[in-house]
Structure 1
Amino acid sequence: MAEALRDLSKPIDVPLLDATVAAFYGTGSSEERHAADQILRDLQNHPDMWLQVVHILQNSQNLNTKFFALQVLENVIKYKWNVLPVEQRDGIKNYISEVIVQLSSNEASFRQERLYVNKLNIILVQLDVLLKFFPVAAYRNLTLQCLTEVAALHFGDFYNMQYVKMYTVFMLQLQAILPSGTIPDAYANGSNEEQAFIQNLALFFTSFFKNHMRTLEATPENRAALLLGIEYLIGISFVDDTEIFKVCLDYWNLFVLELFEAYNQMERTTAKMVGLQAQMVQGTVDGTLTAVQQRRQLYSGPLSKLRTLMICRMAKPEEVLIVEDENGNIVRETMKDNDVLVQYKIMRETLIYLSHLDHEDTEQQKLSMQLSGEDWSWNNLNTLCWAIGSISGSMVEEQENRFLVMVIRDLLNLCEITKGKDNKAVIASNIMYVVGQYPRFLRAHWKFLKTVVNKLFEFMHEMHPGVQDMACDTFLKIVQKCKRKFVTLQVGENEPFVSELLSNLPATIADLEPHQIHTFYESVGQMIQAESDNTKREDYLKRLMSLPNQKWAEIIGEASRSIDILKSQDVIRSVLNILQTNTSAASSLGPHFFPQISQIFLDMLTVYRMYSELVSSTISEGGPFASKTSFVKLLRSVKRESLKLIETFVDKAEDLPHLGKQFVPPMMDPVLGDYARNVPDARESEVLSLFATIINKYKGEMLEEVPRIFEAVFQCTLEMITKNFEDYPEHRLKFFSLLRAIGTHCFQALIQLSSQQLKLVMDSISWAFRHTERNIAETGLSLLLEILKNFEASGFHNQFYKTYFLTIEQEIFAVLTDTFHKPGFKLHVAVLQHLFYVVDGLTEPLWDASTTPSQYTSNAMFVRDYTIKLLSSSFPNMTPVEVAKFVDGLFSSKADLSNFKNHIRDFLVQSKEFSAQDNKDLYAEEAAALQEKEHQRMLSIPGLIAPNELQDEMVDS
């Protein structure tokens, strides 16, 4: 036997080797074990034995034999691996890699061979395979990520420790071959294979740290290897590759969040302990605090580098409108990049946590050379300012003030000393972004606020693409947060800023486009709205509107002499621009806009009537295609803007309903009558939304007007929208919004309808909630629920339910069990609960006594049978017992909405109709609750929700 095994000129006899190994580990005589030991020693020392390793591993079923072969391989690796031919080394590495992947591919094989896999993993590290196998095309995508994931799922503490040992060995090898500081350059100058290796390193480190960081933290020697690995990952994060950075960023976000939450919890615990004298509790808390502080100290160096990383790589926020194109030119952004916005959100959140962990270090990351111009570049300044803006609210006010004084002064100075339009445009956009993110600072520093706003006025004359838009948007954002400052007489000023602004208004807006002027008027309207003195406010409003009013008076004056002047396209555009300017101011001023709208209202209705008649005659003469001409579109734009202006004022004038209501009677014929008389293509959907707003605002006071509204819009609109689900999309939602307003606030008007008219209303509601457009279906369901509740409280409920109960139930179950209507689940449940709840209180039988047997003694008994038959036909795969159990559950849970909802949801999920679908819509309420909980968590962390996303204006300091 010994001689047969020692002849290695041919493939070794694996069964014979298995027997020898078994003899060595067996229970035989000492002579047999000694003989086997001698054979194995001779084989292990044979210079050609390593050539048999793959053959043994492939053919042996004995784990001890495989370990013997791997021991042979380890000796070769240790003493003469580098002198072996490359093809032989690659062959062994590839084979071991294949075996690991194969055995780790499913849980069963892994569990069975886990000791063998573990040994192979160690061999992989010893082979330096992570650094050398990437040029082999078949294994470029192989990393230790799969191994660490398997370890996290299946290995206990012992195996975690083994992986930590492997990791420390790997780090020693990696450090010798690829120093961490060289990674960005190595990637930039590397081959495809070398770049792929660095990409896989990112995957390895992030996966390994997620699963083993706590184990690495446990001992000093492992901590050193851990910090070294973090250094490598930070270096990889600086690599100029978006996909690699995303991998690293996702991990850094989790890492920093975990550290912050522990630190935040420590601070809350400390606060709770103030005043407590319980020594044992205090000792426990002290131990926890020490552990948290030690971890924070352990990572202080890497965290500082992470702050630098976030600043250097900060993504562009949504508010920044100018970008560098592929030719290196500064242009206005034409399309939002959603990937960049998502990346900004993650980076901003990460930097907020980093700021809370060490505010001082965050402040020191300001890169003064960049702001002084010594390290000037567009990208460097952009990312720095985006980062500065992103941490607004995370510092205490005193520190934030000190920080911002320096930043804004340096930016303004940089703008003064820098030459070149593109350079100035970049600096301007950054100034506007930063100041727009710090309303608290601006409110507390009037001189800075005034300087910033005047600088924005300068930028409004800058013709570089995007600068004017951003100046107007930033002005609006600042005014929304600081409006009281502009109407208050500040120390050292002769008049409130708003008065000074209004005096210079023509010059300030001289170079702005119409849409920018509208934003400007909305901003100034915000200021005027903050003025509490009625006389001053009306004077400011008059001065603000003097320019558009002057132009309006000229047009109306000329029209009084020759009506044809209103047909000029230039005049139509002027009218449209004036109305849009009024709408912008009205949106800010609300009820305080009354003096202005009163001044132009009747003339506006006259223009509306004339343009409407012109549209109708043009379409009548030219046919459907006439509605697509630029002339008709322009006329209709004026009509729409007129309606929008009235709706905006009514919507904002809720505190003074008598002001808005007086505008309703004059509109009845010019607006409602025009809608009824017009051809369908000339009917403005804004008429429907305007009267929905009016009814929602004035509620029961509009009851007398509802019949006329109903007569003017109901039948003709239904004829437009019920032919299919596509035509007149704007009319659809607005029609049902109007119907909902009537059903909610003027329900008495529905009761007064004839049975034919009420049936038409109910049919239209059913048509709405069967609609595949989510907003329309939701509006129809909400309207149905309102009507059901109102009929329940009226004296007509028996008659109503006798007519519509079964139809409504059938229709609701149809959409409830249709996967296209899953977003309506919450309202479906609410309607069904209402039906099942009211059925016991109905005194009229719901069945037809002339066709239905008289075995029913109650409506509940009848509805139970009816529902079982209805659902049995819809779900033939379910047994009658299952259906009956579900229906009985509806009756037993009808008094508890939560249980009722869960019962229906369980039924849908268990049915075959829904089992293979994405059912997140069925859990939308729970998801919303989680979102609200997350929102509250974010509110509790200063800066995590940006100050400009909070309420418009906090109390001025």
Structure 2
Amino acid sequence: MTQQKIKELKQSLNSEFQLIHELCLYVLSAASQRTELIRATLATLHAFLSWIPLGYIFESPLLETLLNFFLVAACRNLTLQCLTEVAALQFGDFYNAQYVKMYNIFMVQLQTILPPGTNIPDAYAHGSSEEQAFIQNLALFFTSFFKSHIRILEATPENRSSLLLGLEYLIGISYVDDTEVFKVCLDYWNSLVLDLFEAHNNLDNHAATMALQIPLLSGMVDGLGSQFLQRRQLYAVPMSKLRMLMVCRMAKPEEVLIVEDENGNIVRETMKDNDVLVQYKIMRETLIYLSHLDHEDTEQQMLKKLSKQLNGEDWSWNNLNTLCWAIGSISGSMVEEQENRFLVMVIRDLLNLCEITKGKDNKAVIASNIMYVVGQYPKFLRAHWKFLKTVVNKLFEFMHETHPGVQDMACDTFLKIVQKCKRKFVIVQVGENEPFVSELLTGLPATVADLEPHQIHTFYESVGQMIQAESDPQKRDEYLQRLMELPNQKWAEIIGQARQSVDFLKDQDVIRTVLNILQTNTSVACSLGTYFLSQISLIFLDMLNVYRMYSELISNSIAEGGPFASKTSYVKLLRSVKKETLKLIETFLDKAEDQPQIGKQFVPPMMDHVMGDYARNLPDARESEVLSLFATIINKYKGAMTEDVPRVFEAIFECTLEMITKNFEDYPEHRLKFFSLLRAIATHCFPALVSLSSQQLKLVMDSIIWAFRHTERNIAETGLNLLLEMLKNFQASEFCNQFHRTYFLTIEQEIFAVLTDTFHKPGFKLHVLVLQQLFCLVDSGSLTEPLWDASTVPYPYPNNSMFVREFTIKLLGTSFPNMTTMEVTQFVNGLFESRNDLSTFKNNIRDFLVQSKEFSAQDNKDLYAEEAAAQRERERQRMLTIPGLIAPNELQDEMVDS
């Protein structure tokens, strides 16, 4: 568009805005007009205000007229919406004085409508829909005005009092029991607190830098410090009130499993509320910034509120919950000495509260809060053994509490604490005769007596973590033997009975017991890795025999009853045992250190029991976990598995392909795991792929193409990653010419097909990498033979690069008839020129997709997924510099014993 046309368009728009502005002003200034007409005019004005130049608003009676209508009850909400639009506008400093005047007049009028000191939450709760809408609109006005113009109100003493009054109103509004109103307020509080914190942080950093580099400029730093301190002092009271607001309204964290239902009963949470989790994240971040701005005030407010829970003055489930969630949320934000002092008081008070409070529901609420708080402060627990031991013993008490959710939360918290404090449990502490783990194992049967199977598995995983921290092999084996005594005793009974009569294993209660024993073993294997060797060796061969027997039962049931038989509860139970057997073996081999003797001990027996069983079974009886198990084995033992790959192919390749290539829906679990196995083979056992027959290799390549055509993101990405591995390995092999002569053009054609299909946008990054690999290859000199077929190409090309250019131009020209030959040629030439610069290469492709009109009207965020991931990583790095912003439980901190 030419400059002249832009100028004409602006003039045209200005004249239209002026006409609307004058018309609205005329109607509003005509006092005799009816209320309905005024309301309609205000609604029209509201729709256009963000387009009308500020000059029309401030240099005419319009703003004054709006402020007058603010006092008229019938027009108040529409007027407030118009004023909010004006408040949100920002065009430099030219109209600062007018904004200050507007705000001060507004505040004077507001005080006549809603006097200071009014209980706004109460007024909202008992107000009409119009009055509630007014509070909502008031929140929008204040947050819009402060976001754009708070600095000009800070500038002079006469405006600061009205600014503080406005913040006071906004804090009152923030207590209103309405989620949408609170979201509006919270969004603003978060931005204000971040602004104050960054000013504080930047000043500290700036002062440190200046002191090191230019000591003579310390006066300048002092001046900046003085400004900051004045600003911090100005906001001290509002920020203190804001801390209490965050404490009183803290959202529920994900770890808390106990909630109050609509009937006022304490129950176990059945479904996570994602809105609440997002709100918690924002509130937690806001409270951490507030804590950094004034640690003392944060601590005092929380302890004062906790003391009111103890003396009963402020006791309620909600008050205790929000307080404890707030206490847990600021973990890591204080200096260690202050945090330790604070936590000692908090935990003691909560334990006392649990002792003195009567009632099952009350105790459940207090228990959940104790567990949440202690789980958030692992560093404190590591440094205070007596507190740690008291807390763990309290968790053991809660494991006998059958109130919904308490046992689950006790087991989850125990695991979380052990993961961070494991060394503390295996050393003899001062004043004690044995390590805590030994004491625990002695009382283990009583501790787990009231737990459900899934809770026992979590408990065993926790104790496994403790044992893993023991450095003495003899003690470690002794602890493991004691831990597994109960399940091993039951396992020996079952196997003994089965040897007398194999039918004993067919009983459903026995099958459930077998499943439970295997799940317990898996939990411990997950924690112990290599150190689980003695235990798995004990049960391994019997486990494989049970696997084979249950597999035969499943196959017979499906053969007799047809596909429906696979959905019966009995067959599902049998399959659960098979799946858990595979999961146990995979977990152990994956977690164990790379020791060749382990592979030699466990892999050969599985070849027939597991791989042979897979090949012999009916499709509906094949376990997808077999595929993931062998993928794990190949990833673990790498080239050592090359000789076994032909047997793996023979057993699983063609029969799995038949299952998954009939359509895109059947056997979803087999699909992803099959391609993960293929990728493991391509990465670590490439010679085995090269030794395949041409027909078998074609099956592999066809399956890879089928995979990346898949609309299921995980399958498509696994297929693309597998293709990249194949391309890199074949380029470096003696079969480079042979492979690419057969598959180069097919791969390029198929990749462009999915690249330009909007259903495959998430694969953009990998599509680009494959194309870059292909275009670099033809210019690398690795291909010494022509890619074209001399029998079908009328004339030879000087080199492969020229041939691929022309092929690509024809391919895209045919696919996108809306683009000219010149545009397509320019794009292809650009790809070749930028092939060694991934960023430019990617941008060329991205621009082409939009230019081709396939993606022009779409949401194209997936095309920028890599950049978005990099931005998220930069944000994480920033958060790591602010203590507490990433919770200690999310950090991989070192297990330092003090």
After TM superposition, give the deviation of residue 178 of structure 1 in Å.
1.3
**1:128 matched to which residue of 2?**
70
SS in 2 for 1:688: helix
Query: Which residue in 2 is equivalent to 1:208?
Result: 145
- How many residue pairs end up in the alignment? 876
Deviations 1:123-181 (A, max 9, x none): 2213434755248xxx49834222222x32xx453423212211111111212331243
1:305 aligns with 2:241: yes
Indicate whether 1:627 and 2:569 are aligned: no
Structure 1, residues 392-425: CA drift from partner, whole Å, max 9, x if none? 0000000000000000000000000000000000
Q: 1:752 corresponds to which letter in structure 2?
A: S
Q: In the alignment, which residue of structure 2 is the partner of 1:219?
A: 156
Out of 807, 828, 832, which is 1:891 matched to?
832
In structure 1, give the amino acid aligned to 2:444.
Answer: L
Question: Is residue 657–residue 697 contact of structure 1 (8 Å, CA) maintained in 2?
Answer: no
The one-letter code matched in structure 2 to 1:944 is: L
Whole-Å separation in 2 of the counterparts to 1:359 and 1:555 = 60
Q: 1:17: which partner in 2?
A: none
**CA distance in structure 1 between the aligned counterparts of 2:214 and 2:615, rounded to whole angstroms:** 79
Preserved contact between residue 886 and residue 907 of structure 1 (Cα < 8 Å): yes
Alignment partner of 1:744 is 2:683: yes
Which of these residues, 446, 457, 467, is aligned with residue 385 of structure 2?
Answer: 446
- TM-score using structure 1 length: 0.89
CA distance, structure 1, for counterparts of residue 45 and residue 737 of structure 2: 74
Per-residue CA deviations over 1:670-699 (Å, capped at 9, x if unaligned) read 100000000000000000000000000000
- Pair 343,68 (structure 1): closer, same or farther in 2 beyond 3 Å: closer
Match of 1:735 in 2: 674
Aligned counterparts of 2:182 and 2:57: Cα–Cα separation in 1: 34
2:270 — aligned with what? Answer: 334
Q: Please provide the CA RMSD for this pair.
A: 2.1
How many angstroms does 1:66 deviate by?
A: 11
CA distance in 2, matches of 1:657, 1:474: 37
Name the CA distance, whole Å, in 1 between partners of 2:893 and 2:457: 19
Say if 1:920 and 1:277 are closer, same or farther in 2 by CA, change over 3 A.
Answer: closer
Query: Superposition pairs for residues 519-598 of structure 1, below 5 Å?
Result: 519-598=458-537
Residue identity opposite 1:101 in structure 2? H
1:390-789 equivalence runs, <5 A: 390-789=329-728
* Distance in 1 separating the partners of 2:43 and 2:404: 57
Q: Is it true that 1:911 corresponds to 2:852 in the alignment?
A: yes
Q: Which deviates more from structure 2 when the two are superposed, residues 743-752 or residues 264-273?
A: 264-273
Indicate yes or no: 2:108 matched with 1:172: yes
Runs of at least 4 residues of structure 1 off by over 6 A? 60-70
Alpha-carbon shift at residue 857 of structure 1 (Å): 1.2
Q: How does 1:786-865 map to 2 (within 5 A)?
A: 786-840=725-779, 841=781, 842-865=783-806
Per the alignment, do residues 185 and 112 of structure 1 end up closer, same or farther by CA in structure 2, a change over 3 Å counting?
closer
Among all aligned residue pairs of Structure 1 and Structure 2, give the percentage whose two residues are the same amino acid.
Answer: 76
2:267 partner SS: strand
Residues 96, 120 of structure 1: 8 Å contact kept: no
Is 1:350 the counterpart of 2:286? The answer is yes
Q: Is the 8 A contact 1:330 1:422 kept in 2?
A: yes
Of 83, 86, 97, the match for 2:42: 97
SS at match of 1:181: coil
1:758–1:276 Cα change, 3 Å: closer
Deviation at 1:655, TM superposition (A): 4.0
Instruction: Return 369-378 or 475-484, whichever deviates more.
Output: 369-378
- Whole-Å Cα distance in 2 between the matches of residues 68 and 525 of structure 1? 80
Structure 1 residue 190 displacement after superposition:
1.3
With 899-908 and 310-319 compared, the bigger mean Cα shift is at: 899-908
Residue identity in the other structure for 1:739:
L
Is the CA contact (8 Å cut-off) linking 2:27 and 2:41 kept in structure 1? no
Distance change >3 Å, CA 91–CA 758, structure 1 → 2: closer
Question: Which 10-residue stretch deviates more, 88-97 or 440-449?
Answer: 88-97
2:12 is matched with none
Matched, 1:288 2:224: yes
Aligned-pair CA distance for 1:307: 0.2
Distance across 2 between alignment mates of 1:609 and 1:222: 82
Confirm or deny: 8 A CA contact 1:143 1:200 kept in the other structure: no
Shift of residue 898, structure 1, vs aligned partner: 1.9
Give the drift of 1:654: 2.8
Maintained 8 Å contact 1:134/1:193? no
After the TM superposition, which of the residue ranges 462-471 and 290-299 deviates more from structure 2? 290-299
Distance 1:501 1:852, change over 3 A: same
Q: Distance in 1 between matches of 2:40 and 2:619?
A: 75
- Structure 2 counterpart of 1:318: 254
Structure 2 contact 80–138 (Cα < 8 Å) conserved: no
- Alignment CA distance shift 1:162-1:796 (3 Å): same
**Deviations 1:850-873, CA, capped at 9 Å, x for gaps:** 110224111111111100000001
SS at 2:855's partner residue? helix
1:251 aligns with 2:176: no
Q: Deviations over 1:636-667 (max 9, x none)?
A: 00000000000000000134343244200000
Structure 1 position 879 matched with structure 2 position 820:
yes
- Residues in 2 aligned to 1:371 and 1:180: alpha-carbon distance in whole angstroms: 32
Other structure's SS at 1:374 match: coil
Structure-2 change in CA distance of 1:102 and 1:346 (3 Å):
closer
**What amino acid sits opposite 2:68 in the alignment?**
Q
Counterpart Cα distance in 2 of 1:422 and 1:99: 55
Conserved? CA contact 2:45–2:82, under 8 Å: no
Report the equivalent of 2:883.
942
CA–CA separation in structure 2 for the residues paired with 1:65 and 1:558:
95
Q: Once the two structures are superposed, what CA deviation does each residue of 1:535-567 show, in whole Å capped at 9, x if it has no partner?
A: 000000000000000000000000000000000
Q: Would you say 1:269 and 2:214 are equivalent positions?
A: no
Q: Tell whether 2:813 aligns with 1:868.
A: no
CA contact (8 A) 1:661 1:698 kept: no
The gaps in structure 1 that reach 5 residues or longer are 1-57, 77-86
Task: For residue 335 of structure 1, give the secondary structure of its aligned residue in structure 2.
Answer: coil
Q: Contact (CA 8 Å) 2:24, 2:41: kept in 1 or not?
A: no
Q: What letter is aligned with 2:246?
A: M
Q: Residue 895 of structure 1: CA displacement?
A: 1.6
The structure 2 residue matched to 1:359, chosen from 282, 295, 313, is 295
The structural deviation recorded for 1:609 is 0.4
Provide closer, same or farther for how the CA distance between residues 915 and 122 of structure 1 changes in structure 2, counting only shifts above 3 A: same
Structure 2 CA distance for partners of 1:476 and 1:106, relative to 1, 3 Å: same
Q: Is the 8 A contact 1:893 1:899 kept in 2?
A: yes
Preserved contact between residue 695 and residue 745 of structure 1 (Cα < 8 Å): yes
- In our comparison, the structure showing a higher alpha carbon Rg is 1
Corresponding position of 2:7? none
Query: Structure 1 residues 561, 889: CA separation in 2 closer, same or farther (over 3 Å shift)?
Result: same
| Partners of 2:642 and 2:685 within 8 A in 1 | yes
1:163 to 69, 86, 99: 99
- Which residue of 900, 911, 914 corresponds with 2:841? 900
Q: Deviations over 1:805-847 (max 9, x none)?
A: 0000000111111111111111111111111111132111111
| Alpha-carbon contact 2:84-2:141 (below 8 Å) kept | yes
Per-residue Cα deviation, 1:256-300 (whole angstroms, up to 9, x for no partner): 011101111111122223345542x32222222221221111100
Deviation at 1:212, TM superposition (A): 0.7
d(CA) in 2 for partners of 1:324, 1:941: 34
Inter-CA distance 569–88: structure 2 relative to 1 (3 Å threshold):
same
Is 1:96–1:124's contact at 8 Å kept on the other side of the alignment?
Answer: no
SS at match of 1:462: coil
1:131/1:310 CA distance change after superposition, 3 Å? farther
